[in-house]
Structures are given as structure tokens and as C-alpha cells.
């Protein structure tokens, strides 16, 4: 028994006769069978409402992959359970809609599964509602059996070096949100009017940024990239992109698909990685690392004349972003320190550490800089009042197998986490799916054991009264379908899948709100 979890939900307001019947049902799962309903049909509806507890209600905060996969697993495993999903934007899908590169439509196919989950009558989507701002977190605790926090990692990590606030310096996350039509980033207007760009970081997001900057714009026109972004990229003068990592090839966080896409990008060439930077014998590497190393070893072709050019630089750390001599408010170059592996470190070890070399620093031209060194979750308002801890250094909510911990390390009953806010911003959608499943299992197992918040069981119906009293314009799945239909119609007229609506007020008008 976990001492901080609250009272057993199934025993709430249950008469002795019904408690026996519910005890048998609990052995089979949370739901009661149709035969139980039949056997009690002689009871009046008033009596039934007094003696039978409401079905368990789970609130999920966040509508990305972690939240949807967790919802689907819980609904599948427990027929009586109901899920209400809360989202700050009027539309669902989180990073699948706003983080996956437009030229990776196959990755977005998971939305078909999410739509299937949303069609379950036990599922409710509530959009355009900010938990912690429009509705306090404790209101959800009042009305639910359990809360699952799955709101992702929205803050990018900064470099903390001089010049980071110069014009032309961007978060890779903001740039990705811009070319994906996120309402908060649609007005970014990145400066792409000069030839040299630097991407600091070597994960998949960094490769996405470089690939989008170097791609022929005609190859992107049939994607769901917004027209304003296509126009800006068509006018872009960026010709050279450096992707710079502070460690070596074997420590880069990219995966083979994204590396191969950059190496084979139409109209662009990648400067070969110096052979000394690559392992002499790639056969000793684990399979994933070996495939990437072999790919880079075999890539020996220099960029052709007229190609846009990508360069992969290793063992370099930025120490200063310098202003352009002709425009002092804008970045013009990046100063890097040279690194080496610490004594005794194995260059093939993915966790190998590096240190600065006592050598002259290097300065490279950069008219646009994109930092891509990771993300972190932020605490939503009301976590403290809910007794939920937050690890600011790691950028996540402390937990044990998805069970949230308080500031002192104690377990907080009935509150759970999934996805990046649980484990940090790592992995791909497949790993997020597995994580969502695992957290769902934890929630269901605890509810089966009678452990939860002990709320009213009203769920959204209870929260809705408070929301409507504040005049908040929330959206449901029907409103999302109306937005989706208009986006697809506009996209069809342009020869693409959809043209996203990037203004929240317009979304609400289209949705009839």
C-alpha cells in the first residue's frame, strides 16, 4: 500500500448488499457486467444512483501521442472507465501536428489511431482550455478518480552565452513550430536573407531544421507546410548550413533515417566527415551506431558546384555569438572552442565526455543561428497546491513508474505522468507509445486496487460549470472536425493535404464558437 494515496474509490457511498456485488466485479476488473445491471433492475433509478458509485473518470492533460496512447490503453483495458482529455489549443495532436516535419507525413499516420480512440463514446476532448490558467488543477482533482499529466516539454534549453539575444538567433523548436503553423510561432518571420546558417546541436530536430533550410521548396509544396512558410523558404538565400556538436560522431543523438535523408537531399551536398572522426572498425559498434557510421564512411562525395551545402562539425562548443559588423543588432558569426575527449574516455561510448582544448578558438560566419540542444518541461500553475513536485534542473515531474512524487519525494496519490514530462524529451513516437501504455497500466492497476483521488466522479460535467461561468470558449471533438474539414478544403485548392489555420480566433470562428 502506498501511504500517500487516498481512499479506495469503489467503497464510496455503497450499501452492504451492493458492496458484495462490487467486490466480485472488482475481481474481474473495474467495470460491472450487464448481468449485474439486470439483477438490480428491480431497484428504482434513485436507489441505483445512491448505491452505485460513478464509473472511474480519468483526466488527461495534453493531447499528444503520450496522452492519446495512454487513453486508448485505459479504454481498452477497462470497459467502465471514462477519459476526458484537456488541451490548451483548440485542436488536438500536440507535436504530431506541430512538431513532426511536414516532409514526414508517414509519421503523422498515428492520428488515424487517435481519431479512432476519440470516437469511443467514453472519450471526451476539451480543447482551448488551459489547465492552471483557465481552470485550476485542484478543480480536476475534485471531480476525477485520477489525473494523468502528459503535456510534454515546451521550453527549449538555452546556450547561456553572450550574444544569444541578437536578431537572427532562434530556438529550433520555434522554427519548427513556425514551419508547422503553430499559432504561437506563425509570426516568427525568421531572417533567411543571407547565405550562412549554423545549427547548434546534432539531434533529429537539428537535422530537420537543416533539411528544411536546404530543401528545394517545390519538394515541400505538397506537404502541409503553411503557405507563409513556403513563401519565405522560396525567397531564402541560405546556401550553407553547419550542424555543430560539442562531442563526437558516436555521441550524436540523431537516427539513421534523418542522417540518410540529409545525405541524399536533392540539390544539396554534405561535406564528407573526416575519416579520422569515424571509427576504424565499425563492426564493433552496436547495430544502430554501426549503420550510421557505415553510412558516413561511405559518403565521400563532395558537394557538386551549385549545390546548397551542409557540413557536420564535431567537438566544438559555442562560446559567443558575435554581431554582424554591418548590423550590430544581428548575429554575424559564432565563436567555438575546440574540444577533446577527457582522458580515458572511449570515443565509441555514447556517453563519453569532452573537455576544452588549449587551442585557438574558431570563428565561423552565421547570419542565422538555431539552437537545438534539447527541451524541458515547465511546471503548470497549481502543481504546488496539488502536492506535485517538479525537477527544474532535469525539466520533468519526478515519478516512480508514472506515479507522481511530491517535493519531498513522497508519492502523490491519484496523479500520474506520461511522455516527455515523465522521462524527459527523448525518443520517438514509438517510444512515447510504449511509455503511454506503461503509465496507463499503472493508472488502471491502482484504480483496480481501489486507489485514487476519491473525486465526485462528475469529470468534465463538473468542471464545465466552472468553465462556462468564466466565459471560456472551449472546443470539443465536433469543433475540431469542423476545423479539420476547412483545413482540408483549403489544402485541396492548393494541391496539398491541408492548409492549417494558424490563428486561434479564426479556428474558433470556423468551429462555430
Q: Give the residue numbers of the binding site for NADP(+).
A: 202-205, 246-247, 258, 427
Q: Alpha carbon of 461 to those of 84, 98, 140, 472: distances in Å?
A: 10, 29, 11, 15
- E strand or H helix at 200, and its extent? strand 196-200
Would you tell me the crossing angle of helices 256-263 and 204-214 to the nearest 10 degrees?
A: 20
Name the CA radius of gyration of the chain, rounded.
Answer: 26
From the list 53, 71, 176, 36, the residue with the least C-alpha distance to 452 is 53
User: What residues are designated binding site for FAD?
Assistant: 66, 87, 95, 131, 420, 427-429
Three-class SS state of 397:
coil
User: What residues are designated binding site?
Assistant: 66, 87, 95, 131, 202-205, 246-247, 258, 420, 427-429
Contact (CB, 8 A) for 201 and 369? no
DSSP-derived secondary structure letter, 192: -
505 vs 513: CA distance, rounded Å: 9
- E strand or H helix at 81, and its extent? none
4 vs 12: CA distance, rounded Å: 18
Contact (CB, 8 A) for 324 and 367? yes
Contact (CB, 8 A) for 475 and 89? no
The DSSP code sequence of 170-211 is EEHHHHHHHHTT-TTTTT------SSEEEEE--SHHHHHHHH
Contact (CB, 8 A) for 69 and 102? no
Q: Alpha carbon of 264 to those of 144, 276, 295, 422: distances in Å?
A: 51, 22, 11, 35
Amino acid at each position: 500500500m502506498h501511504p500517500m494515496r487516498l481512499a479506495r474509490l469503489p467503497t464510496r457511498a455503497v450499501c452492504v448488499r451492493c458492496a458484495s456485488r462490487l467486490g466480485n466485479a472488482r475481481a474481474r476488473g473495474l467495470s460491472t457486467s450487464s448481468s449485474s445491471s439486470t439483477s438490480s433492475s428491480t431497484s428504482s433509478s434513485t436507489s441505483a444512483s445512491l448505491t452505485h458509485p460513478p464509473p472511474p473518470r480519468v483526466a488527461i492533460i495534453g493531447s499528444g501521442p503520450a496522452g492519446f496512447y495512454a487513453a486508448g490503453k485505459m479504454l481498452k483495458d477497462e470497459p467502465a472507465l471514462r477519459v476526458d482529455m484537456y488541451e490548451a489549443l483548440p485542436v488536438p495532436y500536440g507535436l504530431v501536428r506541430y512538431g513532426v516535419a511536414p516532409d514526414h507525413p508517414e509519421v503523422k499516420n498515428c492520428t488515424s489511431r487517435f481519431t479512432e480512440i476519440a470516437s469511443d463514446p467514453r472519450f471526451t476532448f476539451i480543447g482551448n482550455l488551459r489547465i492552471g490558467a483557465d481552470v485550476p488543477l485542484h478543480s480536476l482533482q475534485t471531480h476525477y478518480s485520477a489525473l494523468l499529466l502528459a503535456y510534454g516539454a515546451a521550453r527549449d534549453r538555452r546556450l547561456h552565452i553572450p550574444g544569444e539575444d541578437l536578431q537572427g538567433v532562434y530556438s529550433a523548436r520555434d522554427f519548427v513550430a513556425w514551419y508547422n503553423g503553430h499559432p504561437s510561432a506563425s509570426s516568427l518571420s525568421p531572417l533567411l536573407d543571407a547565405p550562412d546558417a549554423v545549427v547548434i546541436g546534432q539531434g533529429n530536430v537539428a537535422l530537420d531544421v537543416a533539411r528544411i533550410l536546404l530543401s528545394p521548396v517545390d519538394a515541400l509544396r505538397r506537404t502541409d507546410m503553411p503557405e507563409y512558410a513556403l513563401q519565405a523558404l522560396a525567397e531564402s538565400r541560405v546556401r550553407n548550413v553547419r550542424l555543430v556538436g560539442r562531442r563526437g560522431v558516436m555521441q550524436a543523438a540523431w537516427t539513421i533515417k534523418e542522417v540518410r535523408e540529409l545525405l541524399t537531399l536533392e540539390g544539396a551536398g554534405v561535406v564528407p566527415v573526416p575519416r579520422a572522426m569515424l571509427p576504424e572498425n565499425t563492426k564493433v559498434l552496436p547495430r544502430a551506431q554501426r549503420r550510421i557510421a557505415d553510412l558516413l564512411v561511405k559518403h565521400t562525395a563532395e558537394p557538386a558546384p551549385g549545390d546548397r551545402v551542409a557540413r557536420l562539425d564535431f567537438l566544438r562548443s559555442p562560446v559567443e555569438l558575435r554581431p554582424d559588423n554591418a548590423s550590430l543588432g544581428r548575429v554575424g558569426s559564432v565563436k567555438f572552442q575546440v574540444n577533446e575527449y577527457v582522458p580515458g574516455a572511449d570515443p565509441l561510448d555514447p556517453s563519453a565526455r569532452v573537455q576544452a582544448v588549449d587551442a585557438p578558438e574558431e570563428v565561423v560566419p552565421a547570419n542565422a543561428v538555431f539552437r537545438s540542444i534539447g527541451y524541458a518541461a515547465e511546471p503548470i500553475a497549481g502543481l504546488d497546491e496539488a502536492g506535485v513536485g517538479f525537477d527544474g534542473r532535469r525539466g520533468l515531474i519526478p515519478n516512480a513508474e508514472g506515479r507522481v512524487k511530491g517535493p519531498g519525494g513522497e508519492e502523490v496519490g491519484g496523479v500520474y505522468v506520461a511522455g516527455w514530462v515523465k522521462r524527459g524529451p527523448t525518443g520517438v513516437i514509438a517510444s512515447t507509445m510504449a511509455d503511454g501504455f506503461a503509465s496507463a497500466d499503472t493508472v488502471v492497476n491502482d484504480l483496480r486496487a481501489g486507489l485514487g483521488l476519491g473525486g465526485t466522479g462528475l469529470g468534465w460535467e463538473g468542471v464545465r460549470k466552472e468553465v462556462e461561468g468564466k466565459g471560456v470558449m472551449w472546443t470539443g471533438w465536433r469543433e475540431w472536425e469542423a476545423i479539420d474539414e476547412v483545413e482540408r478544403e483549403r489544402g485541396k485548392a492548393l494541391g496539398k493535404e491541408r492548409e492549417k489555420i494558424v490563428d486561434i480566433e479564426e479556428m474558433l470562428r470556423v468551429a462555430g464558437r
